[in-house]
Amino acid sequence: MAAETLEGCQTMHHQWPQDTLFKRIALVPEDRTCGACRRHLQICDHRYHRIFRLGGPVEIISKLCHCPDKHCVAHAVTISPAAELALTMPWWLIGWDVFAWMGYRRFARHWSLPQIRKELADSQQVFLSADSVEHYVGLYQNMVAARQQEPTVLAAEYNGVQDLILTIDGLQPEKGHETLYVVRELRRRRVWFAEPLLSSAAAEVRRLFEQARTWAQRLGLPVKLWMSDKQEAFVSSVAGVFPGVPHRYCQNHFLRDLAKPLLEADSAAKVQMRRKVRGLRAIEQEVLEKQPPAEPKEQATVVLDYCAAVRGVLNDDQGGPLQPPGLRMAGALREIQGSVQRNLDAKKGAKRKSSWGVWARSSSEDSTTSKRHKRNCTRTSRQCGK
């Protein structure tokens, strides 16, 4: 709470330019009657709150009231306008509209934080620091998580579901950070909750299973199945917290272990293929620097495109046990090789066709000359005979 207050104090001291034009909104308490003595409340002070909104900067002027009777027990209580919370939260530098704009682009469109900050400044004229953007996006994430875990919302989501299938998995973060354990329900494909744990000891992991049991009891639904990897802490926790519930091991982990020898051989094959397919950079430099003047530019473009395709194939490591990347790499290289060979064959065929046309024309001319010469010889011999 102290950190939130400190953050709020920092946002309230935002340095607004002197020429900033604010739209002023004046608010007063909705109920001006003292709850203790029923006297009419009087305005005793004003609170000014400047925020960014999508329509421009806004200055909220909240009129504060209190009971004028000094002997009233409510005299020291200051009443604030409740309508201010419909515009923004205390100590915030942005309104709810900017807050929702940031959250939507972060979690629906998967924008990065620098992208959100830049777009706010360019299109909305909302200038926030990188720390402020990260802070508000974190608050949005907390609100969404709280909404997803709200009991009434969860009960409505599982209306008509007969039983539950739960799964747990540990997500490995960056080095030096705690492992994030995530509990999900597969009938509705919902993440129930996630918690980082300092260790994977059975006592630590067991708390997550106990929390999952509380959630299932709150919904009033039985747990039909648990799924996880074969981690010992998971096995003992399922048996202890959910006795009699079947525990099935994750198919992905099973296939990964089963395919481990294949993937090792596949990795060695990729290394061998990369060793054979070399010299792309040298080919590209030769094409770019030493193009013959008579060579069409289209040929250079084709060569560069083939080099880019080969480089993309060599750098593609995607795949899994059912689609080994080495096999995919070999197939892609064969397709490129076949394409190159078809182009070479087509070029050779064009040359042969051109040569045949020249030969055919020269043969026709020679034949015509020979016939003409034969007729002349026949005519000369007849004249001599006479």
User: Would you state the pLDDT for residue 86?
Assistant: 92
Taking the chain (386 residues) in runs of 10, the rounded mean pLDDT of each run is 41 77 93 91 93 94 93 91 92 94 90 93 92 92 80 84 90 70 88 80 88 90 89 89 88 72 79 80 79 63 83 76 77 85 78 51 48 50 45
Residue 127 CA to its chain's centroid (Å): 25
113 to each of 11, 32, 133, how far by Cα in Å? 18, 43, 7
Tell me, letter by letter, the H, E, C secondary structure of the chain. Answer: CHHHHHHHHHHHCCCCCCCCCCEEEEECCCCCECCCCCCECEEEEEEEEEEEECCEEEEEEEEEEECCCCCCCCCCCCECCHHHHHCCCCCCCECHHHHHHHHHHHHCCCCCHHHHHHHHHHHCCCCCCHHHHHHHHHHHHHHHHHHHCCHHHHHHHCCCCCCEEEEEEEECCCCCCCEEEEEEECCCCEEEEEEEECCCCHHHHHHHHHHHHHHHHHHCCCEEEEEECCCHHHHHHHHHHCCCCCEEECHHHHHHHHCHHHHHHHHHHHHHHHHHCCCHHHHHHHHHHCCCCCCCHHHHHHHHHHHHHHHHHHCCCCCECCECHHHHHHHHHHHHHHHHHHHHHHHHHHHHHHHHHHHHHHHHHHHHHHHHHHHHHHHHHHHHHC
Supply φ then ψ for residue 292, to 5 degrees.
Answer: -60, 145
Burial classification of residue 337, based on how many CB atoms lie within 10 Å of its CB (0-12 exposed, 13-18 middle, 19 or more buried): exposed
Nearest in space to 167 (alpha carbons), one of 224, 243, 236, 232:
224
Write the pLDDT tens digit of every residue in 311-370: 888 877 776 666 777 888 888 888 888 888 888 888 777 666 555 454 344 444 444 544
Q: Which domains does the chain have, with CATH numbers?
A: 2-145 (no CATH), 151-255 (3.30.420.10), 261-353 (no CATH)
Tens digit of pLDDT for each residue in 68-90? Answer: 999 999 999 999 999 999 999 99
